[in-house]
Structure 1
Amino acid sequence: MADLVLGQVISFTADPFEVEGAARVESHGGVLIDAGRIVAVGDGAALRAANPQARVTDYDRALISAGFVDAHVHYPQTAIIASWGKRLIDWLNSYTFPEEMRFADPTYAAEVAGRYFDLTLANGTTTVCSYATIHPESVDAFFDAAQARGLRAYAGKTCMDRNAPDGLRDTVQSAYDDSKRLLQKWHGVDRLNYVITPRFSPTSTPEQLAAMGALWREHPDCLMQTHLSEQLDEIEWVKGLFPQSRDYLDTYESQGLLREGAVYGHAIHLTERERDRLTEAGASLVHCPTSNTFIGSGLFDLAGLKARGLRIGLATDTGGGSSFSMLRTMAAAYEIGQLRGTPLHPSQLWWLATVGSAQALHAERHIGNIAPGMEADLVVIDLASTPAITQATQRAGDLWQALFPTIMMGDDRAIRAVWVGGRPVTGNAAS
């Protein structure tokens, strides 16, 4: 039986950074769903009349959107989120690496993976792209948990063969062999996608980066994810480790890790050459605003990089980021835009958390928008979830004024319902 979901429906016909009025809002809209996909979008009453046999779920004045897409996370850092902040290297050594060692235990990995997806779904996120740890068990745990929930999900084994503690280093050969075996096991199964994942240049030798480049050439339909130019002292560290390289990006480029399908987290402190090459190669960048402020990394140049035509997504970067919520992440992106003198409209923020992140993962044909043929991953937003938000929305003159208080002050209480693959997994409604 088809489902008809009613409410205010937001979708995008174009990129709001480029086209004014790119967001489309059906104030009394409907989304018709069948077999896990969106069949039609439009006026709710008309869809109801045309599909009298459909099962109706009415969310009244709540906002129906594509589910949020979190394009850069570390699910193994779930338990250490909001640990007292230091600089990046100190944070890795103090918190991240000791926690990641625990993921050699399949039981612990499964426990955290399940908790992670429960937290993200409660916050309206229906797709994530995650780093695992060096342990193959951590990848299996992530994909098992995602598969059980019917999610579209992306992840890969993190590869590190230097500058990490005993128990968290692999080798050139084991990184290649484990990654290839996991790729062959999981990539393309149901809604799961393997991502080739060298952590970042400081923890991989040139030989290991080259091995990941070779694996990517063998499996060009996969994504490759890593970190780039997050902090200034990190960049200096890279210069010392790779004296032969022109810049940080060149440590990847020279090993076959720069082309379309490359997804770089952070990318805050870029040289002009790096900006040019990222653009020419068609790479994706991921803005991680709560992480960048929490760890003190810097202010991402969203406006400048977006103007170049780069694919740019948005991400929590948990657990370096301080929240599982993409609403909080949008708020932080707005604040960083203000500090850079480039204010963002609510439609642009919403686009980054949905279509933009889907584009960064080359998944825009499947997720990130509400349109016929798309997979039916939805989040339903209560625009009056708290007294503070309610009193702000009561003064609103249009949807954007009504939505912006939820972007700035909303949390998991604003998530009225979540649909995954055409079925509700959280929330209630009058039918």
Structure 2
Amino acid sequence: MPLTRKAYRAAILHSLADPAEVGIEASYEYFEDGLLVIENGRISALGHAGDLLPRLPADIDITHYQDALITPGLIDTHIHLPQTGMVGAYGEQLLDWLNTYTFPCESQFADKAHAEEVADVFIKELLRNGTTTALVFGSVHPQSVNAFFEAAEKLDLRMIAGKVMMDRNAPDYLTDTAESSYQQSKALIERWHGKGRLHYAVTPRFAPTSTPEQLALAGQLLGEYPDLYMQTHISENKQEIEWVKALFPERDGYLDVYDHYKLLGERSVFAHGVHLCDEECARLAETGSAVAFCPTSNLFLGSGLFNLPMAEKHKLNVGLGTDIGGGTSFSLLQTLNEAYKVMQLQGARLSPFKSLYLATLGGARALRLEDRIGTLQPGTDADFIVLDYNATPLLSYRLKQANNIAETLFVLMTLGDDRTVLQTYAAGNRVHQR
């Protein structure tokens, strides 16, 4: 294959570490006039344009962006493909919302043509919003996952998804069995896991919708394939927590249910965690598990406020999730806008550099993919986005008043949305152009 080499010149910013661990100044790298060099889908060089330009071959194709910022592609650690058609559904908290809106919407995915249509819309929305990697819940139907992976594979995206396992406390038309969920998951793993840039996640919806037999088989799958992911929900809503206690009286709490069935581990991501206690955070951190912080959804469904400082105290990996369709926007910029407010309501600060970390390198660490995505370090996949300072008249005017990159970044995360994303690149290929 011929060597394909391209360069992109603009202001460039990426995270190097968690600001909570190294301090803000050491947590990021910023080039006011930077250059990003891509070779065959990977980043080969990053630095000041003045340093790198003289070393490049004369015929290299250089794209120069004015009034723009290049950052790593954004990483969504919790989102539901089948809920795309019910975003912004009115007036319920979690359990009623599932029964009223979610389950009927997910039932349509028995039809592969419907699954393919939604997968196309869903991936376009992700890329339009600058999201290059997502950890995705399918429906209970294997065809939902096949449709998603087929669409993602065509664009060489790094995506993780799984078929929901759900064998009780849901409508008959939407349940599987412990055995069928195991066999269907296994077939999907054999077909997709590790194919190109795709990964499989074992996906029990949440403890109340799985029997002990099904949870045991989910744990068995993780044992059979050592580098699989596991995704589920935890401690999102107080009623849900009481329900889990009633269903599993022999366990010491919600997290202990998952712990007992061997579902904690380095590639396990638990969505929400709004009502976790100190001991549970410590146990998640000890096992290398991660939590997906979903502020738009937690506010929209009235679930509560995630305690990020407590997670930081335990050095618990935290990523960011839009949680479509409990969340109301595919935009991780908008999700960070809400995350800031969630912290404010608890008397805590969320710096723009911590926000950048959560949406990029923090998500990559939660997924154990920091050697591949989440930064712009040479050697990593060329997944990056171009943010347009003039995307809207207000953004353009406001950014002219910004005095430094911290202020610029915060304004992008407060006023920015899908319109701010000028271009999205995955493995060096442009996959979205506004």
Same fold (TM over 0.5): yes
Alpha-carbon distance between aligned partners in 2 of 1:209 and 1:97, rounded to the nearest angstrom? 20
Structure 2 unaligned blocks of 5 or more? none
Cα deviations by residue, 1:33-70 (Å, 9 ceiling, x for unpaired): 00000000001233222112321111123100000000
Q: In the alignment, is residue 14 of structure 1 matched against residue 17 of structure 2?
A: yes
Q: Deviation at 1:427?
A: 2.8
In the alignment, which residue of structure 1 is the partner of 2:314? 308
Q: Deviation at 1:275?
A: 2.1
Alpha-carbon distance between aligned partners in 2 of 1:257 and 1:402, rounded to the nearest angstrom? 40
The one-letter code sitting in structure 2 at the alignment partner of 1:68 is L
Q: In the alignment, is residue 157 of structure 1 matched against residue 163 of structure 2?
A: yes
In the alignment, which residue of structure 1 is the partner of 2:34? 29
Q: Deviation at 1:17?
A: 2.0
The one-letter code sitting in structure 2 at the alignment partner of 1:48 is L
Q: In the alignment, is residue 113 of structure 1 matched against residue 119 of structure 2?
A: yes
Structure 1 unaligned blocks of 5 or more? none
In the alignment, which residue of structure 2 is the partner of 1:38? 43
Q: Deviation at 1:208?
A: 0.5
Cα deviations by residue, 1:275-324 (Å, 9 ceiling, x for unpaired): 22112211101100000000000000011112211110001000110101
In the alignment, which residue of structure 1 is the partner of 2:206? 200
In the alignment, which residue of structure 2 is the partner of 1:97? 103
The normalised TM-score by structure 2 is 0.97
In the alignment, which residue of structure 2 is the partner of 1:258? 264
Q: Secondary structure at 1:260's aligned position in 2?
A: coil
Q: After superposition, where does 1:180-329 map in structure 2 within 5 Å?
A: 180-329=186-335
Q: Secondary structure at 2:173's aligned position in 1?
A: coil
Q: Secondary structure at 2:19's aligned position in 1?
A: coil
Q: Deviation at 1:412?
A: 1.2
Q: In the alignment, is residue 389 of structure 1 matched against residue 395 of structure 2?
A: yes
In the alignment, which residue of structure 2 is the partner of 1:416? 422
Contact 2:266-2:368 within 8 A present in 1 as well: no
Q: Deviation at 1:274?
A: 1.4
Alpha-carbon distance between aligned partners in 2 of 1:375 and 1:13, rounded to the nearest angstrom? 16
Contact 2:67-2:390 within 8 A present in 1 as well: no
Alpha-carbon distance between aligned partners in 2 of 1:63 and 1:398, rounded to the nearest angstrom? 13
Q: Secondary structure at 2:63's aligned position in 1?
A: strand
Q: Deviation at 1:26?
A: 0.3
Contact 1:263-1:283 within 8 A present in 2 as well: yes
Alpha-carbon distance between aligned partners in 2 of 1:328 and 1:239, rounded to the nearest angstrom? 34
Contact 2:281-2:316 within 8 A present in 1 as well: no
Contact 1:283-1:311 within 8 A present in 2 as well: yes
The normalised TM-score by structure 1 is 0.97
Contact 1:85-1:294 within 8 A present in 2 as well: no
Decide which moves more: 331-340 or 10-19: 10-19
Alpha-carbon distance between aligned partners in 2 of 1:268 and 1:152, rounded to the nearest angstrom? 28
Q: Deviation at 1:13?
A: 2.4
Q: Secondary structure at 2:78's aligned position in 1?
A: strand
Alpha-carbon distance between aligned partners in 1 of 2:59 and 2:345, rounded to the nearest angstrom? 52
Q: Deviation at 1:82?
A: 0.7
Q: Deviation at 1:384?
A: 2.8
Q: Secondary structure at 1:18's aligned position in 2?
A: helix
Cα deviations by residue, 1:220-276 (Å, 9 ceiling, x for unpaired): 211111000000000001111111110001111111112222110001111333122
Contact 2:15-2:360 within 8 A present in 1 as well: no
Q: Deviation at 1:393?
A: 1.3
The one-letter code sitting in structure 1 at the alignment partner of 2:15 is F
Runs of 4+ residues over 3 Å off in structure 1: none
Q: Deviation at 1:85?
A: 3.2
Contact 1:32-1:40 within 8 A present in 2 as well: yes
Cα deviations by residue, 1:138-181 (Å, 9 ceiling, x for unpaired): 11001001111210000001000000101110001001111111
Decide which moves more: 269-278 or 30-39: 269-278
Q: Secondary structure at 2:298's aligned position in 1?
A: helix
Alpha-carbon distance between aligned partners in 2 of 1:76 and 1:382, rounded to the nearest angstrom? 30
Cα deviations by residue, 1:314-342 (Å, 9 ceiling, x for unpaired): 01000110101010001111110111111
The one-letter code sitting in structure 2 at the alignment partner of 1:393 is L
Decide which moves more: 43-52 or 217-226: 43-52
Contact 1:4-1:48 within 8 A present in 2 as well: no
Alpha-carbon distance between aligned partners in 1 of 2:99 and 2:159, rounded to the nearest angstrom? 28
Q: In the alignment, is residue 73 of structure 1 matched against residue 76 of structure 2?
A: no
Alpha-carbon distance between aligned partners in 2 of 1:145 and 1:85, rounded to the nearest angstrom? 33
Q: Secondary structure at 1:31's aligned position in 2?
A: strand
Q: In the alignment, is residue 366 of structure 1 matched against residue 369 of structure 2?
A: no
Contact 2:15-2:356 within 8 A present in 1 as well: no
Report sequence identity in percent: 45
Q: Secondary structure at 2:333's aligned position in 1?
A: helix
In the alignment, which residue of structure 2 is the partner of 1:50? 55
Aligned residue pairs, count: 428
Alpha-carbon distance between aligned partners in 1 of 2:271 and 2:85, rounded to the nearest angstrom? 21
Contact 1:393-1:403 within 8 A present in 2 as well: no
Alpha-carbon distance between aligned partners in 1 of 2:162 and 2:431, rounded to the nearest angstrom? 26
In the alignment, which residue of structure 2 is the partner of 1:4? 7
